[in-house]
Amino acid sequence: MPPAGATPRSYGGLLVAVQRSALLAVLLALVGSASLSLGAAERTVRIVALGDSLTAGWGLPGDAAFPARLERALKAKGLAVEVANAGVSSDTATGGLARLDWSVPEGTDAVIVELGANDMLRGTDPKITRQALTEIVHRLTARRIAVLLAGMRAAPNLGPDYGGEFEAIFSDLAAQNGVLLYPFFLDGVAAEAKLNQRDGLHPTAAGIDVIVARILPKVEELVARVRDKGAM
Residues annotated catalytic, as ranges: 53, 199, 202
The SS3 call for residue 19 is: helix
Please check whether residue 212 is in contact with residue 71, taking contact to mean a CB–CB distance below 8 angstroms.
no
Please check whether residue 204 is in contact with residue 197, taking contact to mean a CB–CB distance below 8 angstroms.
yes
Name the E strands within the chain.
45-51, 81-87, 110-114, 146-150, 180-182
Among 151, 155, 90, which residue's Cα sits nearest to residue 123? 155
Report the alpha-carbon distance of residue 51 to residue 100 in Å, rounded. 10
Report the alpha-carbon distance of residue 23 to residue 37 in Å, rounded. 21
Q: In 153-185, which positions are buried (b, 16+ CB within 10 angstroms) versus exposed (e)?
A: bbeeeeeeebbebbbebbeebbeeeebbbbebb
The SS3 call for residue 83 is: strand
Please check whether residue 215 is in contact with residue 71, taking contact to mean a CB–CB distance below 8 angstroms.
no
